[in-house]
Structures are given as structure tokens and as C-alpha cells.
Chains A and B, each alone.
Chain A
């Protein structure tokens, strides 16, 4: 297990290095003098001089990258020019909101995706199966920001049941928090539920045709136990691993969902930064999401190796 761990952790190092080069390299795409662009519309000479110095703009690309990397490794993601605040602080401030949204979305996705996948595998070829597949296709093809707008139209404008926008901290008022988060979480969870349903269906179909499931049936175990205890437990392993890959969908979706429901999270931070030309924030957020994505997938792989010894000896 230790050898596997070392090998697996070693593979993420070059990936992280390339990610950082890629994200730092984005700066090179800016047309013209980066200091002029970064200084914004005011073009204050003092700001420009300060930028040239802090960004080492007179040095070659590789040297600038190393300076930047040294900061990043020490937890310094640069400073937001607009908000005059370290990027790290901004991320730490907005992250809990997005994490709450993402967790609620995952709960909703699991609650819809897994039962739907199980039912469509068990009742394969029936109306249930077709119905679940239609719902999955709908989930995959609906742009989530449009779904969000339509839900606002239904639940906020027409019925008046839920607030259309705004965010209340759960520590202030958890009921108001839940009321403001339920629609965004559903919108975000919807697309992932569709993917989970497809994964669950194919994993269940594979497991249900295996020998031990036939043995369980032959010894007279109730069908309910065969499906839930014998089949689903084993089918869950690939579902968890494949589900971890959906984290990117979750983060991308959060950007749009937060924009629709004006939730002050991570996604809103990057979009506002784009329009404020606050490039350090954009780079910081992308670097943070990529690193989080790599580490969470590493965690999923390790979890997979713990439950499935065959992976370790490959």
C-alpha cells in the first residue's frame, strides 16, 4: 500500500507543475505591456511602477515564473488590485459559501442519481428504464443557468415560495439559508444526478450479472437484499471514482449558478474578477480549483485502492 501511495502521490507533482506553468502563462496572453493592462483604466504611474517591481516584469519569463511559484508555495497568491486584499483571503472568505452549495448539490445528485440508476438497471428495458434515461438526457442537455431562471420564474415569481436571490449565512438563520440555497443546489445537482444515474446503471448491470449475485438469489435471499446489499455495495466503488471526476462539472456549474442566484461565492469571485480585470484573482482561483480537483481525485483513487486491493499491485 505504501508503494502505491508513493507512486500515486509522485504522479501529481509534474501535473501540479504543469498546471502552475499554464496558469502563470495566461499572463502572456494579455495584449501589450502587462503592467499597463494590470493597472486598469486609471494607469496611475505609481501603480505601474509598483507592478513592474512586484511582478519582476523586467526579468525573463522563467525567472518571473520562479518568483511567482515561490510566493504560491508559501501561500501567497498575489493581491487583488481592485479590492486591495490578498487573493488568499478573498478565496478563504468566499469558499465556505461555494462548499455549502456544492455539498447540498452532491446530496441532491446522490438522492436522485443513485436510486434512478438502480431502478433502471433492475427494471431494465421497461418503462422505468426508458423514463430514467429520458430524465438523464434532459439533465445533460439543459443549461443549468436556464434551469435556474425557469425555477425562479416558477417558485419565486409565480408561486412566491422561495427567494429569487441573495444569501443568508446558516449561522444567522439556517431556515432562510436553506430557503435561499435549495433552488441553486437543485440546479447544480441536476446535471450531476444525470451522470451518476448513467454510471450507476452501467455498474449495476455489470454487478447484477455476476456469479455471486446469482448465488445470492439461488440461496433464496430476498430480491431487495440482493439488489441493495449484494449488488449496490459493489457497484458503488466505480460510482465513487467516476463521481469524483464530476467535481469539475460541479465547480464549473457553481460559477453559473452563483451568477444566476447572486450568491457571493467562489464563482461570483472569478466572474467579478474577470470584469474588474483583476487578473491575480483569476489566476488564484483557477490555481486553487485545479489543485483542489487534483487532490480530491487523488483522495478518491486512494480510497479506491483501500477497498480494492487489485489496484495496488498493478
Chain B
């Protein structure tokens, strides 16, 4: 059984010997775009970024301008998504709310990466006491449920969007430490690392030049999925009143208010929730697609 598999795997490799291989990154992007689900996710993310950046030009109204003549008006030609409890245009608030969600998603994951990757790389590469210490702290952080830790951090830091991002970033860090450490351990055992060490490279040089580039693909997948989780986490903290503070719009805080008017203004709850769902779904689809594109062996249907 193993013979035909081995020869089938060897075939293209020997055939391609000497020929120029396509750049691996272009390859990944092409494979990603060939997956309809991932391509859909990329389009939605690109649109959301464009809308968030161009919010002042796209939004029909000022997102914080109140109008007591238009309190809780159902969707109409003037207000496509209706108005809220103090007459603000829901569509404009949804458009501006994309800023908080995207910013929180990206910034908090950047925080996790900035702390998690060096810590994991250090623990995996240095080993010994350093590894033990980093691993125990990681275990401790992992033992606190993600959102509960974020709530506690946001509570002690004080409620604001930037503190919510810090809280989410710190709470999501242990996953990156674990992943970076585990992949570093695997890469460290490879022959090319041994070769790099044999010719006398300094440890930091091996870690940065030889190990780091090889642990990027799994981190990239995890980062994409982590953005999805961070968008939900930001919405959750804002829903609890610990994220973006009023009157600035955020999808989570819009839902918090909408909950109180669900019996006579349900449109207030539908659109912000749908926006969170669509953005999170898109990041999940791109993350899944990226995993399959980077490592086709792990494609779920294979």
C-alpha cells in the first residue's frame, strides 16, 4: 500500500528537478483564492476594511448625531436600517462600528503576537529553566477562561476600547506562546538547524534567521482565527459595557442597548449582530482556507 503512495509523491518532485518552482507565497495565495469560501471571506474582509476606512464618506448620517424627531423609526428610505432610541441612524452607526471591531481584532492579535512569539521562541529554543518558567506562566494564563480573564483585566484597567484591546491581547497570548514553542521544538530538530549550528552561528541568529521563518505558517493561520475570536471578544466586552464607551459606536454596545428595546425596535438588534457574524465568519473562513492552502494534507475534505 505504501509503495504506490511513495512513488506518486515522488513523481512530480523528480519531474520538477531543475525547473524553476513557483514562489511559495504566490502559490498559497492562488490556492486560497481557489477556495470559494476563503475567497468570499477575503472579499467581505476587504469590503469591511474599505467601509471602515471610508466611514465618513460612506455613512449617510453622523453616527452620534441624535434626533428626537426620529426616535426608534423602523427601516425606511431615509434610514435604511432604522434609527435607535435617541434617533441616531443605525446604518451609520453600523458603518462606524466596523472601525472598533476591526481595530480591536487586529491590534489585540498584534499584542498577542508581540508577546507570544518571542516568548514561545525563547522557551522552545533555550529550553531548561527558561522553558519551564514560560510554560508554567502559560499554563496559568490558559487556566483562566479567555473572556473571564479579559473581563477581570478590563475591570482593573478601567473600561475603554484601548484597555479592552490590551485585555483581549493578553488573554489570547498563551495560545501563541504554546504554538510558537511547539513549532520551534519541531523545527529545532531539523537538519538545517543542526547544520547552521555546526558552522558556528550564534544561537540568537539561528533562532531568528533559521527557526522563526519556519514557524510563521502555523502562526499565520492561528493569527487569522484569533482575529475572529478577538472581534467576538471586543463585541462581548462592549456588550458588557467594558469596551468602546458611548456615544462612540461599537457593534457590541449597540446590541447592549438594543436588548432593552427588542419588543418595539427589533431592527436595532438585527444589523449590528449580523455585522459581527459576517466579519467573524469571514475571518474563520480565511483562517480555515489558509490552513488548507499552507498544508494541503490537513484539508478537512482530504
Contact = CB atoms under 8 A, between A and B. Distances in A.
B145 A289 contact: yes
B6 interface: no
A293 B152 contact: no
A285 interface: yes
Contact of A29 (B140, B153, B252, B266): B153
Nearest to B280: A141
Interface stretch (A78-86, A221-229, A274-282): A274-282
Interface in B132-152: 136-137, 139-141, 143-149, 151-152
Nearest to B241: A275
A125 B141 contact: no
B147 A259 contact: no
A150 interface: yes
B228 interface: yes
Interface residues of A, number: 56
Given A141-B284, A260-B259, A146 B137 contact: no
A26 B136 contact: no
B115 to A, nearest CB: 14
B259 A141 contact: no
Interface in B10-31: none
Interface residues of B, number: 47
Nearest to B242: A274
A286 interface: yes
A153 B269 contact: yes
Contact of A282 (B139, B155, B235, B284): B155
A293 B143 CA distance: 6
Contacts of A107: none
A27 interface: yes
A112 interface: no
Contacts of B140: 15-16, 18-19, 21-22, 290
A143 interface: yes
Contact of A274 (B155, B255, B266): B155
Interface in A253-305: 253, 255-256, 259-260, 270-271, 273-275, 279, 282-283, 285-286, 289-291, 293-294
10 contacts: A18-B139, A19-B140, A29-B153, A133-B300, A141-B281, A142-B280, A146-B255, A150-B269, A164-B262, A274-B154
